[in-house]
Chain A
Amino acid sequence: MASNGIKDRVAIVGMGCTPFGEHWDKGPEDLLVDAATEAYRSAGIDSEQVDAYWLGTMASGFSGLMLSEALKIPYKPVTRLENMCATGSEAIRNAAYAVACGAYDLVMAIGVEKLKDSGYSGLVGANPPNDGTLSSMTAPATFSLLAPAYAKKYGVEEGTLKQVLARIAWKNHKNGAKNPKAQFRKEVPIETICKSPPVAGMLGIFDCSGVSDGSAAAILCRAEDAHRYSKHPIFIKALSFAAGPAEGYYSQDYDFTTFPEVVASSRDAYRQAGVKDPRAEISMAEVHDCFTPTELVLMEDMGFSPRGKAWKDVLDGRFDGEGPQPVNPDGGLKSFGHPIGASGLRMMYEMWLQLRGEAGPRQIPEPKLGLTHNLGGAPGRCVSFVSVVGV
């Protein structure tokens, strides 16, 4: 029984990412073609060279045919997978294991989501036939539970906490403003964020991630082959995943100030990567800021801040684009947007750019290790993915 990891055995040698946003003129198949074409070009390969594909989408399509038909892939393995909002990261994880074990030489992980065709506000889930007793809580409602629980546990005034949450949104908008592919490319004043129309609990519109369309893709190979395709490959140091028993939905012990799934997956990832002190060793992170309190709690669950102190680190600017440990330098889910199946790959895309020095005005000086964190579900019942990557 072990989570051995595949440190430095797999490299990413090419990536592509569409702009995220309201693509009224493009369907999910168009987005897949755009992201895949960019990834092939980035790796300097022809599509025929790719041996197998992993396609992540939550609900924009079904089966590998969605990709093989769009890209006209001739009779190769295409796996379609889904793991809620962590779907894109699952595509990377499964593709990486396939090359690590030697089954294939060159593979693609690609994610896509088309959310803006539904005409609904927010995310819409489709349940299998059921008994009608499932919780009707929306995503912002479940995540909004974190805020008052955190404030109460650590004695933070609700007004102060509102400022902390607003600063997270403000920072991610500021980062997104420098990103040509982000859905929202405008800085938003703290006062506007605080005054935005209520969605759930303490959360206003500006505390929520962008509902958008988009796709992103990565080409992976074994580390020893990486330089055949890329002068500047990046290497996987850790891939970790945790699905919880939903303890928070049954047990009165759960207090809504932590994601045990994130604690478990980040601990495993650090062990795989040999990271002893994440606060000091992780240069930058793309984390699952689906709602502002999520990012706050993640900082503590992943060991970037001590328990009960992340709110101070946020106010001190520790996680700002120019801060000592930038978090969501590309704008995050908040500003880059959150097309579910693509988000995990979009996070990796920023690591790809940053580690190769290609992030333009957002470039973090000399990053060593980057982390992506992707979460699906709700506080108390979720799945969590953590990767560590470097050069």
Chain B
Amino acid sequence: MAGIVRYGSYLPYFRLQRAAMGAGKGERAVASYDEDSVSMAVEAARDAVRGGVAVDTVLFATTSPAYAEKLDAATIQAALDLPESVGSVGLGGSSRMGLAALLLGLDLAAAGRRALVCASDVIVGAPGGARESQGGDGAAAFVTGGDRDAIARVLGRASATIEILDVWRVPEERFPRQWEERFIADTMAPAIADTARRALEAAGVEPSTLATAILDGTNPRSMAGLPKALGLRPEQVADPLAASVGRTGVAHAGLLLARALDQAKRGDRILVVCEADGADALVLEVTEAITDARPVRKVDRWIASKRNDLPYNTYLKWRGILPFEPPRRPDPERPAAPPMRRHERWKLAFVGSRCTKCQTGHLPPQRVCVKCGAVDQMRDERFADTSCRVATYTLDHLAYSLQPPVVAAFVDYEGGGRFSSELTDVDPKDVAIGKHLEMTFRRLYTAQGVHNYFWKARPGR
């Protein structure tokens, strides 16, 4: 038997109000200009593997891969400083692949392995359409393992694979298209209900005893009849976060599951259903281990930590939909493969060094100590989770940025060490010397088709 051992979630800082798009009420979560599906997956996974939780496989699901060809899971592995001996799998092509990846991770766990399952999406729709306004950006991550240390055990599961023209996009096109919702809802509803029932039967769980039912699909209509079909009471059905986040593609079922786990108590049974090109369903039972295994940052905390005055045209610039006047500064330069490989643990895992003679911290790692001059007496030290604060800062109006001005700071780390870092997810008015910061994994820019991932500092969220 298998289960979920740890989990984490992530929502970006920015929200776009639907009123700003002329699209009704509520708001959607928006990845910042320096985020993508990979960086958000890393942020969610950091909480899931915090404290050195071991995994041997990385599964990454997204419909918005950073690269069409190049393994995004490898970037995630490197950013989390996981050993290179892990296996990795990428899944995509349908928003069901998030839950599918979790099922696969649970299969691996049943076979005695431990998988890190990441699901992350940046949902972009054609301007003016429902996908743009009703979509959201976010990520969820789970570590699967044996049921002895599980916080939620698998009780049952079921799947259905159905060839249907619902949501589609050829690789050459930017925006997906979607068939008429009523056709999908009417056609898919019986299959969704059947899949859910089969999972519940396999689990031996009566629907009425479920603590939470997470019902996620490509459009709200296709899920509308499911509570009645299963005999669920309204209070059993999880809030789909449509008003505050929007549907986060492959991440959404996992995000809602993370939120359910945030609030669950021992013995709670949770049904997760995800519909896209068929359906997957999973029934879990929460164990007593949940109390000690919850991440620091819960979904509701991410939801509350936000800035929601993003102008629509800024959003369109960030997604590369709206062309704009470039600054009179050179284009960013493409990072080079050999130095990236040489400095991989620095660049992607934020591993600096500390002098074993005088304990001085060095970012980036150095061979010669700046204080005592000792040569090659350093040990590696990861600063990604080290508490830090603003030593001094400035607003740089000249530097290239999609969110000017750049807030540039010297950041001092607890226990020694300093680094000149860009701040992100920050209101310049809120920066002050001594302000607490935390590190976040970001995509600084893309040059000649190469994404430049590195770390920035942000005010604590």
Contacts and interface: CB of A to CB of B under 8 A. Distances in A.
| Chain B binds chain A | yes
Interface of A: 118-122, 124, 127, 129-133, 135-138, 140-142, 144-145, 148-149, 152, 197-201, 245-247, 249-252, 254, 256, 380
Contact of A145 (B347, B399, B410): B410
Given A137-B420, A141-B408, A250 B336 contact: no
A173 B394 CA distance: 26
A380 B370 CA distance: 12
Interface in B15-58: none
A202 to B, nearest CB: 9
Given A124-B330, A145-B392, A138 B399 contact: yes
B400 A132 contact: no
Nearest to A119: B328
22 contacts: A120-B330, A121-B398, A127-B333, A129-B339, A131-B343, A132-B340, A133-B346, A133-B364, A136-B399, A137-B394, A138-B396, A138-B399, A142-B394, A149-B392, A199-B397, A249-B419, A250-B362, A250-B363, A251-B371, A252-B416, A252-B417, A380-B410
B318 interface: no
A294 to B, nearest CB: 14
B139 to A, nearest CB: 23
A149 B364 CA distance: 24
A131 B340 contact: yes
Interface residues of B, number: 48
A250 B418 contact: yes
A249 B418 contact: yes
Give the top 8 A-B pairs by smallest Cβ distance, nearest first. Answer: A132-B335, A129-B336, A141-B396, A201-B394, A132-B452, A131-B339, A138-B398, A131-B343
Nearest to A130: B339
Contacts of B346: 131, 133
B71 interface: no
B329 interface: yes
Nearest to B373: A245
A185 B346 CA distance: 48
Nearest to B352: A250
A148 B408 CA distance: 14
Interface string B381-419: 000000000011111111110000110101010001111
B102 to A, nearest CB: 33
A248 B393 CA distance: 14
Tell me which of A124, A152, A200, A246 has the highest count of chain B C-beta atoms within 10 A of its own C-beta: A200
Contacts of B315: none
A127 B333 CA distance: 9
Nearest to B394: A201
Contacts of A124: 329-330
Interface of B: 327-330, 333, 335-336, 338-340, 342-343, 346-347, 360-364, 366, 370-371, 391-400, 405-406, 408, 410, 412, 416-420, 422, 433, 444, 452-454
Contact of A136 (B362, B393, B400, B419): B400
Given A141-B396, A252-B418, A132 B454 contact: yes
A201 B418 CA distance: 20
Nearest to A152: B433
Contacts of A131: 335-336, 339-340, 342-343, 346-347
Nearest to A247: B370
A131 to B, nearest CB: 4
A129 B392 CA distance: 29
A380 B452 CA distance: 26
Contacts of B333: 127, 130, 132
Contacts of A121: 327-329, 398
Given A119-B328, A137-B420, A252-B412, 8 more contacts: A131-B335, A142-B394, A198-B397, A200-B396, A250-B370, A251-B371, A252-B418, A380-B410
Contacts of B453: 132
A247 B364 CA distance: 13
A260 B345 CA distance: 31
Contacts of B392: 145, 148-149, 256
A256 B400 CA distance: 24
Nearest to B363: A250
A384 to B, nearest CB: 18
A122 B400 CA distance: 12
A317 to B, nearest CB: 29
Contacts of B412: 252
A140 B396 contact: yes
B370 A251 contact: yes
A246 B370 contact: yes
Contact of A122 (B366, B371, B398): B398
B332 to A, nearest CB: 8
